[in-house]
Amino acid sequence: MAQEDTFKKIVSHCKEYGFVFPSSDIYDGLAAVYDYGQNGVELKNNIKQYWWQSMVLLHSNIVGIDSSIFMHPTIWKASGHVDAFNDPLIDNRDSKKRYRADVLIEDQLGKYEEKMDKEIAKAAKKFGDSFDEAQFRATNPRVLEYQRKYDELHARFANAMETSNLEELKQIILDEGIVDPISGTKNWTDVRQFNLMFSTEMGASADSSSTIYLRPETAQGIFVNFLNVQKTGRMKLPFGIAQIGKAFRNEIVARQFVFRMREFEQMEMQFFCQPGTEMEWFNYWKQYRLAWHQALGMGNENYRYHDHEKLAHYANAATDIEFRMPFGFKEVEGIHSRTDFDLSQHEKYSGRQIKYFDPERNENYTPYVVETSIGVDRMFLSVMCHSYIEEQLENGSSRIVLSLPEPLAPVKCAVLPLVNKDGLPEKAQEIVDDLKFHFNTTIEAKDSIGKRYRRQDAIGTPFCVTVDGDTLTDNTVTLRYRDSMKQERVPIAKLREIIEDRVSITSLLKKLDVKE
């Protein structure tokens, strides 16, 4: 099945099973804005809980905050967002559609990658176990040619972005023969800049002094609270401040479902450290964050780092963690060494001294910052994409199973009375009433048992417990495992013990190696 078809199926699965709905659905939706349904919100909350605990619970030197979305407008001047938070836009005169010039070029890069992947997949199939991918990449003429084109385009693109050279971006689009996917033509306008921040007015007057912005990142709420937290929490360097919250960007290209939204959620942590130690911390956070992803068991080969060669003027290192989505490897998280840029800028614009007094060195200085920034929605999407499986079964039938990492599953255990009478629903309810204190447990009595299993598979419930006539006499139930569909008879009294460890966030946290 083409990757595009798989992705479409995942999007409709999300709607059909209460994970994600288009916002304002009965009014035909609002572009690039989505609502999370009854199962989506549970999965999203589990992701957030996993992140929060891995940061705040496991690191005694990291604390959390919850800052407001509206902030003083000068913050966005200081951070550079008013002047430089722009996307390069281009219009196609025939379709009248607007695109991000950088995204059109990124898609072109993706096409070269796809071509290489196809050649590799073909060769891997042909040569079987003896296939050596590294050698094939280094010697196959077609792969080498695609790689050369990729490298050339990548270098030219990075240079144009870094220098904000809009004419060059347009020239790349023309030289690469990129056509509008709708009109199929190359009738492009010039490229121009577009600021991504949403603005609104605060209070009754509507002059420009009352213009405020919806935050485009949560990080600035952390920087402007640095002194508050450091002083009230008596924090000593190195220490971190973590935050989860909504961010807003007027994205021009609203595509790929929850991958690029206009209202989305970030989980960000700013780690303040002594100047000169930032690379050590950058490497720690790079490794720790990748381990966080890998602990979910979604295949180490599906992640890769993308180190930034060209850095923003204030950064001295930056990397993305990318995940293999159905539409290619894409950024899910960024780790940035931001030097003392943000704190210094806020010191300059606010007129307040934002320094740390180091008692050991007996001096004041501006701390350096390493940031980890991950989008909750992108994380959600990577989990959904990886977990969605259409399985052909041995008996000739098929099923759709969401093979979610068990601790992230919205519902951990579904209790199913075999028939909806003879005291079975009451017995099932008794089991739910016991287990619900420990993990998310639900009861489902409607439809045949087979249909109920399929429904639970489709929402990713790792355990189903079937209550039948024997249960009433011997207090045993049938426990069914989602992925293997294996069934075994177990005493009710053992259910908690079997399930709890596997579905707890703690089981993930224990896989992480923490340095403080």
Which stretches of the chain bind ligand GAP, using CB under 6 A?
Answer: 217, 219, 249, 251, 260-261, 264, 266, 268, 331-334, 371, 373-375, 377-378
Cβ closest to ligand GAP, residue 338 vs residue 452: 338
Q: Considering the complex, what minimum distance in angstroms separates the CB of residue 226 from ligand GAP?
A: 15
Q: Which residue from 63, 23, 12, 46 is spatially nearest to 272, judged by alpha carbons?
A: 63
Cβ closest to ligand GAP, residue 331 vs residue 358: 331
Q: Considering the complex, what minimum distance in angstroms separates the CB of residue 442 from ligand GAP?
A: 30
Cβ closest to ligand GAP, residue 328 vs residue 425: 328
Say how far residue 182 (Cα) sits from the centre of its chain.
Answer: 29
Nearest residue to ligand GAP, by Cβ distance, number only? 375
Instruction: For residues 417 and 450, give the distance between their C-alpha atoms in angstroms, rounded to a whole number.
Output: 12
Q: Evaluate whether 217 touches 266 at the Cβ level (below 8 Å).
A: yes
Tokens of 282: 């950058």
Q: Considering the complex, what minimum distance in angstroms separates the CB of residue 343 from ligand GAP?
A: 14
For the chain, helix (H) and strand (E) counts, in that order, are 18, 23
Q: Evaluate whether 313 touches 340 at the Cβ level (below 8 Å).
A: no
Cβ closest to ligand GAP, residue 318 vs residue 414: 318
What is the separation, in whole angstroms, between the first and last Cα of the chain? 46
**Which one-letter amino acid corresponds to residue 119?**
E
Q: Considering the complex, what minimum distance in angstroms separates the CB of residue 371 from ligand GAP?
A: 6
Cβ closest to ligand GAP, residue 112 vs residue 259: 259
Q: Considering the complex, what minimum distance in angstroms separates the CB of residue 20 from ligand GAP?
A: 13
Q: Considering the complex, what minimum distance in angstroms separates the CB of residue 308 from ligand GAP?
A: 10
Q: Evaluate whether 374 touches 266 at the Cβ level (below 8 Å).
A: yes
Cβ closest to ligand GAP, residue 44 vs residue 452: 44
Cβ closest to ligand GAP, residue 273 vs residue 321: 321
Cβ closest to ligand GAP, residue 223 vs residue 239: 223
Instruction: For residues 492 and 489, give the distance between their C-alpha atoms in angstroms, rounded to a whole number.
Output: 9
Q: What is the dihedral of CA 341, 214, 219, 314, to 10 degrees?
A: -20
Q: What is the dihedral of CA 250, 252, 255, 261, to 10 degrees?
A: -10
Q: Determine how many CB atoms are found less than 10 A away from the CB of residue 293.
A: 18
Q: Considering the complex, what minimum distance in angstroms separates the CB of residue 148 from ligand GAP?
A: 29
Instruction: For residues 111 and 107, give the distance between their C-alpha atoms in angstroms, rounded to a whole number.
Output: 6
Instruction: For residues 122 and 281, give the distance between their C-alpha atoms in angstroms, rounded to a whole number.
Output: 41
Say how far residue 451 (Cα) sits from the centre of its chain.
Answer: 32
Q: What is the dihedral of CA 9, 11, 12, 17, to 10 degrees?
A: 110
Q: Considering the complex, what minimum distance in angstroms separates the CB of residue 468 from ligand GAP?
A: 46
Q: Which residue from 221, 25, 192, 208 is spatially nearest to 98, judged by alpha carbons?
A: 192
Cβ closest to ligand GAP, residue 222 vs residue 424: 222
Length of the chain: 516
Q: Considering the complex, what minimum distance in angstroms separates the CB of residue 187 from ligand GAP?
A: 28
